[in-house]
Amino acid sequence: MTSITQIAAFGGVVMLGAMSPGPDFAVVVRRSAVSGRLHGMATAAGVSAGVFVWVMAAATGVAALLAASAAAFTVVKVVGAAYLLYLGARALRAAFRKGGPVELDLPDPGKKSPWAAFGEGFLTNVLNPKAALFFVALVPQFLSAQAAPSDTLVLSVIALAGTVVWFLLVANVVSALRRAFTRPAVRRAVDGLTGTALVALGINLATATRP
């Protein structure tokens, strides 16, 4: 049985991991700025669903197999890096595209549905093998080999909840400032910064090696 102390400690570590700058943060910020609160929150939910998947995978040994297999790690790494580079390139293209201010009454200037935004967040997280390595190292410290399935579910839900809370906060703060993002110069700056960050993260992931 997982104790309250273990649950609190696990949740705290997951929150610190979520707060660290990375591709998850970049995609939530950009989607919130470009498409508004609903889409930003959908992206945040997608990221959190990816975290839930990784905790379950780490607890059941699937993530450990990924970390141990050079071929599997490379496949996920290449696909994940390509996806980040794709997102970054789109953001940079938007940064260099000229246009007028964004109208706030348009539900999605990026022409994405909330489900597409959810998928963007989910794929950004679940295609990141570094997330697998993080949870492979973390989860065994809180779950023994004899842990009950309920303990695994509890930790997975805690990870999901903690990540949701953080990224929903980010999405709501950024979307609350969205009026500033309707200015073309500000919008291009956000696209340029997040696009550059995503490209850099994609390159970093592409060149990453297993520890």
What pTM does this model have?
Answer: 0.75
- Is the predicted pLDDT of residue 141 greater than 60, yes or no? yes
Task: Report which residue type is found at 37.
Answer: R
CA angle 169, 175, 177 (to 5 degrees): 110
What is the C-alpha to C-alpha distance for residues 202 and 191, in angstroms, rounded to an integer? 16
Count of alpha carbons within 13 Å of 174, Cβ hemisphere only? 28
Digit-coded pLDDT (tens) for 41-84: 999 999 999 999 988 888 877 766 766 677 777 877 788 788 88
- Is the predicted pLDDT of residue 181 greater than 70, yes or no? no
126 in Cβ contact with 50 (< 8 Å):
yes
Kindly list the distances between the CA atom of residue 189 and the CA atoms of 82, 157, 180, 198, in Å, as whole numbers in the listed order. 23, 36, 11, 14
Digit-coded pLDDT (tens) for 149-164: 777 888 888 888 989 9
Give the lowest-confidence range in 33-42, 49-58, 83-92, 183-192: 183-192
CA angle 156, 162, 165 (to 5 degrees): 135
